[in-house]
């Protein structure tokens, strides 16, 4: 499986960069980053090549180089179904800058999506955060057309200044696009037509969507 494109503008190893791909927008525990779990959580066919000992050493090195922050936070254990406090890792601004130089993302096309249930009334709320309102609305329309969400009612838009959408990056201005949906977390699986979602896609939410845009336009 071919790895996402990189510019080779930094001295990050391929393994370190793959870890950064997972961490660019979130904070993660060691278990999420393990070689056997990486591809499952990232929904991809590849993984890094670090066994547990080498992964621990790599994370420690990245923390020492101030490219990652290490903090103690709650981590859910799927096997025991309980919470415990363990180390979590987050990109620093320096680490994020290296990721930016390697992946060269178009931040105007970045969207952060979230969907959650509203109480017990079997309806949900969809939110899209984006730098370009037009792109955000196109994303919402494509998600509706593809069967990912079922918007109902009014679409509400507000402007947020100096918004920290990522742990390491602040945007001068973003738009929050929100609407209620008829979707519930208790709904059965609905077929998603990804060809509709991707037909006019100029936005990206993760490394896979970013890399597919790169391969289309470069």
Per-residue pLDDT of the chain (218 residues; tens, 9 = 90+): 689 999 999 999 999 999 999 999 999 999 899 999 999 989 999 999 999 999 999 999 999 999 999 999 887 776 677 787 889 999 999 999 999 999 999 999 999 999 888 776 668 899 999 999 999 999 999 999 998 888 888 999 999 999 999 999 999 999 999 999 987 655 655 678 999 999 989 999 999 999 999 766 54
> Do 129 and 91 belong together in one domain?
no
Residue 7 in domain: no
- Residue at token pair 């779990």: 37
Same domain, 123 and 88: no
83 and 154 together in one domain: no
The residue from 63, 82, 103 where one domain ends is 103
8 Å CB contact between 128 and 111: yes
Which among 70, 103, 136 is the end of a domain?
A: 103
**CATH code at position 89:** 1.10.10.10
Last residue of a domain, one of 79, 103, 127: 103
- Is residue 169 situated within a structural domain? yes
Q: Model-level pTM?
A: 0.90
Contact 165, 123 (CB under 8 A): no
Whether 1 is in a domain gets the answer no
Most distant pair of Cα atoms in the chain: their distance = 52
Q: Are 174 and 200 in contact (CB under 8 A)?
A: no
Structural domain for 18, as ranges: 14-103
Answer yes or no: do 88 and 136 share one domain: no
């Amino acid at each position: 499986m071919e790895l996402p494109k990189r510019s080779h503008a930094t001295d990050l190893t391929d393994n370190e960069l793959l870890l950064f791909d997972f961490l660019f927008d979130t904070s993660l525990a060691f278990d999420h980053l393990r070689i056997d779990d990486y591809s499952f959580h990232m929904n991809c066919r590849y993984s890094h090549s670090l066994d547990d000992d080498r992964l621990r050493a790599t994370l420690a090195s990245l923390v020492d180089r101030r490219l990652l922050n290490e903090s103690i936070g709650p981590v859910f254990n799927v096997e025991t179904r309980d919470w415990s406090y363990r180390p979590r890792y987050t990109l620093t601004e320096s680490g994020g800058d290296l990721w930016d130089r390697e992946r060269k993302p178009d931040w105007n096309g970045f969207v952060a999506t979230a969907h959650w249930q509203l109480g017990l009334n079997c309806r949900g709320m969809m939110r899209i955060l984006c730098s370009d309102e037009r792109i955000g609305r196109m994303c919402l329309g494509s998600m509706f057309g593809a069967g990912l969400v079922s918007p109902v009612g009014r679409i509400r838009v507000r402007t947020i200044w100096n918004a920290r959408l990522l742990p390491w990056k602040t945007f001068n201005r973003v738009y929050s696009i929100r609407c209620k949906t008829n979707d519930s977390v208790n709904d059965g699986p609905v077929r998603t037509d990804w060809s509709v979602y991707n037909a006019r896609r100029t936005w990206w939410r993760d490394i896979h969507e970013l890399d597919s845009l790169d391969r289309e336009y470069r």
